Amino acid sequence: MSFKLLKNLVLAVYLFLGGVFLYVQYKEVEVLSLGVEDNDFLKQYYDLKNFEKKWIELEEGSLEGVPSSVSEEVREFEFLLSVLEEQQEYDASSEEVSLIREELADMRVAILSLTREKMLFYIESRVEADEKSLSAIDQAARKSFLAFVVFFLVFGAFLVFLIRSVRKPLDEMAEAMREVRKENFSYSLPIDEERSDELTQLKRDFNIMIRKLEILHRRTEESREQLEHDAKQLKESVVSKTRFIRHLGHELRSPLAAISSFSELMLEGMHGDITVKQEASLQRIMANAQNLLDLVNDLVDQAKAEAGSLELKLEAKDLKAFCEEVLESVKIEAEKSGLKVIYHASEEDLVCDIHEVRLRQVIVNLISNAIKFSKQGGKLELRVQRKGGLAFIEVEDDGIGISPADQRNIFMEFHQGDTYQKEKGAGLGLHLSRQIARLHGGDITVVSEKGKGSVFRVQLPLNNQKV
């Protein structure tokens, strides 16, 4: 059914309902008008009743306010009364005066009887009028009741027709929605091509939407399958890379260790005396071999972290004593670079769950970076303090600093900013340090200004127990 037709039908129902009410109001006005007309009977009745009371009390003289229904008899009575008065003036003891008096008495009784008859007549007329009014009211009520019964029957039938005509397509659409939720995009609503109402158009639009959803679903499934395939390949690639780096690390560690060992033996004179230039060359060989060995170790650790196999067994340790010990192990190197080393720790106890080797690796890496990028005569400060439920290890220097652009990417793998020096690392240290810090339940952040130095802050959750 068209919604426009539905609107017109509802309007027609309302007009019909208004007509029924107008008819009922008209009948009520008609009944009330009958009641108004009947009010004349009441007036006549009360006029006669008042006249009766005055007539009974009357002794002599004229009477005012006579009802029209007995006015003629009263005028005759007044005329005869005036004749009596004239006769009394002429001869009060005559026989004619006695006769007139007797006639006046009879007439007075007759007028009283006539008044009462008229009163009875008006009472009967009023009763008859009331009966007519009641009859009219009863007929109007019956007609109104019948009209409402017919209206509700017709309106009920109309509602049933309306509900069935509207609910059927809505039920079909609800069923279609349930099918769509089940990802059955091949479902479509039946359409009567001969109809062009709003519900039919809605069905067409719904079927078009389902077709589009089917296309999107198919594309989504294809993309999901492709993503799963790519993820699988990426995982296999990571596993292969990790395996390769581990194997490479194992293969490189042995010759690097041999190079370092033989160079150390030669420096100690185990294979004869060496010249000053040979000693300098051997020391450079040992330093480069150690740098290469550190790089291999970082690559292996990074591969383990990416594969999720870098597991840490944490133990509760005194963080202040641990950091002071780590600083002492690298203090000589910092002082050789002309840096002033400062250590500051809060007075309260700081106990954290840590992996000593890995956390030492993080702190040494941060201190080594501070040494590398600081100038002669600068300072290096290590602070250990508490803020809330966290412990903070801060490494501050007054070196060359880091630009804002580099600060956003500094913890990325293999990232080297404008502070990069060819002989000073491959860009793995900070990335690996952040991963180790996160394995401790913490993190690493940096605050720096170009040309004014940097502050690297390691945060770790506190363990409230005492060591």
pLDDT digits 0-9 by tens, 341-390: 999 998 888 999 998 888 988 999 899 889 988 888 889 999 999 998 89
**277 and 333 fall within a common domain:** no
Evaluate whether residue 237 is within a structural domain.
yes
Is residue 340 in some structural domain? yes
Co-location of 207 and 167 in the same domain: no
Q: In the structure encoding, which two tokens stand for residue 236, read together? A: 């296999």
Domain for residue 466, yes or no?
A: no
Say if 187 falls within a structural domain.
Answer: no
Three-state DSSP state, 312:
coil
Distance between terminal CA atoms of the chain?
83
Q: What letter would DSSP give residue 60?
A: S
User: Does residue 88 sit in the same domain as residue 171?
Assistant: yes
pLDDT at 62 over 60: no
Boundary residue ending a domain (276, 292, 310): 310
State the chain's maximal CA–CA distance in angstroms.
201
- Looking at 287, 310, 333, the residue that finishes a domain is 310
Tell me the pLDDT band of 416, cut-offs 50, 70 and 90: low
pLDDT given for residue 29 in this prediction: 55
Mean pLDDT, the chain, as a whole number?
77
Q: Are residues 18 and 153 in the same domain?
A: yes
The model's pLDDT over 26-36, given as tens digits with 9 standing for 90+, comes to 665 565 555 54
| CATH number assigned to the domain comprising residue 324 | 3.30.565.10
Q: With 90 as the cut, is the pLDDT of residue 268 above it?
A: no
Of 418 and 310, the structure prediction assigns the larger pLDDT to 310
Q: Are residues 325 and 437 in the same domain?
A: yes
Q: How many CB atoms lie within 10 A of CB 343?
A: 15
Instruction: Tell whether 322 and 202 lie within a shared domain.
Output: no
Is residue 290 a part of any domain in this protein? yes
In a domain, 184, yes or no: no
Helices (H) and strands (E) in the chain, counts: 9, 7
- What band does 394 get if pLDDT is binned at 50, 70 and 90? very high
176/170 Cα distance (integer angstroms): 10
Q: Specify the pLDDT at position 2.
A: 55
| 61-72 average pLDDT score | 66
**CA nearest to 350, candidates 307, 316, 314:** 316
Instruction: State the residue range of the domain holding 412.
Output: 312-461
152 and 118 within one domain: yes
385-416: burial string, b at 16+ Cβ within 10 Å, e else: bbeeebbbbbbbbbbbbbbeebbeebbeeeeb
Instruction: Assess whether 305 and 335 both reside in one domain.
Output: no
Residue at which a domain ends, from 143, 175, 207: 175
Three-class SS of residue 454?
Answer: strand
What is the tally of structural domains in the chain?
3
- Are residues 393 and 405 both part of a single domain? yes
Inform me whether the pLDDT recorded for 220 exceeds 50. yes
Model confidence, pTM: 0.46
Residue for token digits 């194992």?
250
Supply the pLDDT for residue 422: 44
Residue with tokens 């198919």: 218
Encode pLDDT of 286-343 as tens digits.
777 776 777 677 667 766 666 666 677 888 999 999 999 999 988 888 888 889 999 9
Confidence of residue 395 (pLDDT cuts 50, 70, 90): very high
**What is the spatial distance between Cα 25 and Cα 20, in angstroms, rounded to a whole number?**
9
Same domain, 280 and 395: no
Do 159 and 43 share a structural domain?
yes
- Say what the pLDDT of residue 423 is: 45
Same domain? 306 vs 408: no
Q: Is the pLDDT of residue 202 over 90?
A: no
186 lies in some domain: no
In a domain, 467, yes or no: no
